[in-house]
Amino acid sequence: MKNKSVKSARGLTFWTLALLMSAITTCSLANELRFEQAFSEKGESNSLHFTAQFLSRGTSHQLELWRDKGRRLKRTTDDAIEVYAFRKPGDAEYHMSILDLKKKIHTRVDRTNLYRIGNFTDWFDLAHGLKHPAGNYHLTSEEAPGNALKAIASCKWYSLTQDAPANSTHICWSEASRIPLLIQDQNGTVVWKVLAVDQKPVSAKTFEIHDEGFVRNDANQDIDPD
């Protein structure tokens, strides 16, 4: 009888543990978020203008962005590169002009052709300063990291993990502006910081392309299939 009781207890312990692990896993999955769910562009303002500082390969850069009603935008990086993008509202396809101000080269390319050469950049990526993760990822809401800087406005923190647990990013997303105000890597290094933001109407002149004296290059002709 004693052996049977021990075996029964062991069996009960096993199933109890299995149920607990199942509950923990289910709870964890329930807390998982989709990228589009956490970082939604729905309800964003018609106009947006912001300046940000970001790190790329250990070098600091300055970005300024203007967006108008989800149909046109302008980005300048380090006063060296200007990017203009235009589309019909809600359309996935967009037309882009890239101006290298130092080399005086104006390159035109469309989203479809960017995809053909392996550059999977959507309108959201261009307009919000946050790129969709490639491949598998885990996204959950979180409290502000202990070493987090103070953002210029209120925002919600999220943890985004890709490839490996050590490769995590902490994102402070502004519901008001629909952009990340702060992004920190797993080591606490700030890789993105919005310095100023406003939602004032953007002048149509902002999106005028001035390429006088530039070499004009239509990349679509080189990429388009025969």
Q: What pLDDT shows up at residue 192?
A: 97
Full strand arrangement of the beta sheet holding 156-162: 137-142, 156-162, 168-174, 179-185, 190-198, 47-56, 59-68, 72-77, 81-86, 95-100, 105-110, 215-218
Tokens of 97: 């002009």
3-state secondary structure 103-167: CCEEEEEEHHHHHHCCCCCCHHHHHHCCCCCCCCEEEEEECCCCCCCCCCCCCEEEEEEECCCCC
Nearest Cα to 128, choosing from 87, 181, 62, 201?
A: 181
The strand pair at 105-110 and 215-218 is best described as parallel
Q: What pLDDT shows up at residue 32?
A: 85
Q: Report, as ranges of residue numbers, the positions in the chain whose pLDDT lies below 70.
A: 1-31, 164-166, 224-226
Superfamily (CATH) of domain 35-223: Lipoprotein localisation LolA/LolB/LppX (2.50.20.10)
Using DSSP's 3-state secondary structure scheme, residue 102 falls into coil
- Residues 97, 106: contact at Cβ < 8 Å? yes
What are the boundaries of each domain within the chain? Answer: 35-223
Q: What pLDDT shows up at residue 1?
A: 54
- Residues 225, 113: contact at Cβ < 8 Å? no
Q: What pLDDT shows up at residue 3?
A: 53
Q: What pLDDT shows up at residue 119?
A: 86
Nearest Cα to 73, choosing from 125, 133, 131?
A: 125
- Residues 69, 47: contact at Cβ < 8 Å? yes
Q: What pLDDT shows up at residue 209?
A: 97
Q: What pLDDT shows up at residue 20?
A: 38
Q: pTM for the full model?
A: 0.81
Q: How far apart are CA 221 and CA 208, in angstroms?
A: 23
Residue-wise pLDDT tens digits, 3-57:
554 444 444 444 443 433 333 333 334 468 999 999 998 889 999 999 999 998 8
